[in-house]
Structure 1
């Protein structure tokens, strides 16, 4: 039963990571790219790490994986905020529908 739970968590996590990668490629500007990757990539990484942690029955590897997931939950949104704040401070304007885009 734990094997199936572990596999399900990892598959869902990889799905969200793939969505983040697609969002990074498809979105028009730095702000929407940051939003797409921050939300989906953080969730995907945490779910994948949780799936691997479930695969380990007990012990130090499980604790390390859970601490790593906690670290990702804290640092990924913080880094995204710093990147978008730097873009805003540099005067990078958000994309609007009035502008011509790639598609």
Structure 2
């Protein structure tokens, strides 16, 4: 009986944390002006908010007799891998469409994190297209 009561408090805590992060992320998605700042809010909700909700689900399934559940761990692993990658791709699309402020140029190398091709590699790209 004592384990169930303690587990209920932990489940309630993690549900509250997940709900707060989801609420703040939803408000941030609506409140921010451009797409690059809007991108920040849902990625945090996807990792921290949903992660907290999944932790609550894991504690509940263990405390109330279902045993440990591996499904939540797999969902967390999938979210933690895919959320940063999808956010990176969305940010790249926004930058290349030039619908946001262009980031400052790199200080030491002009080809780093851009689509510029170094002079030494330009002859290879011409032969591949032909």
TM category, shorter: 0.7 to 0.9
Distance (Å, rounded) in 2 between the aligned partners of 1:80 and 1:74: 11
The count of corresponding residues between Structure 1 and Structure 2 is 92
What SS is found at the alignment partner of 2:13?
Answer: helix
Deviation at 1:39, TM superposition (A): 1.8
Name 1:64's counterpart in structure 2.
71
Name 1:91's counterpart in structure 2.
98
Deviation at 1:10, TM superposition (A): 1.1
Where does 1:19-98 land on structure 2 (aligned, <5 Å)? 19-57=24-62, 58-59=67-68, 62-94=69-101
Distance (Å, rounded) in 2 between the aligned partners of 1:56 and 1:2: 10
Distance (Å, rounded) in 2 between the aligned partners of 1:41 and 1:11: 15
What's the RMSD between the two structures over aligned residues?
Answer: 1.2
Q: Compare the two structures and name the one with the higher helix fraction.
A: 1
| TM-score, structure 1 as length reference | 0.83
What SS is found at the alignment partner of 1:91?
Answer: coil
What SS is found at the alignment partner of 2:33?
Answer: coil
Q: Runs ≥4 in structure 1, deviation > 6 angstroms?
A: none
Q: Deviations along 1:15-60, whole A, 9 cap, x unmatched?
A: 101111000000010000001221233210111111111100124x
| TM-score, structure 2 as length reference | 0.67
Say which one has the larger Rg: 2
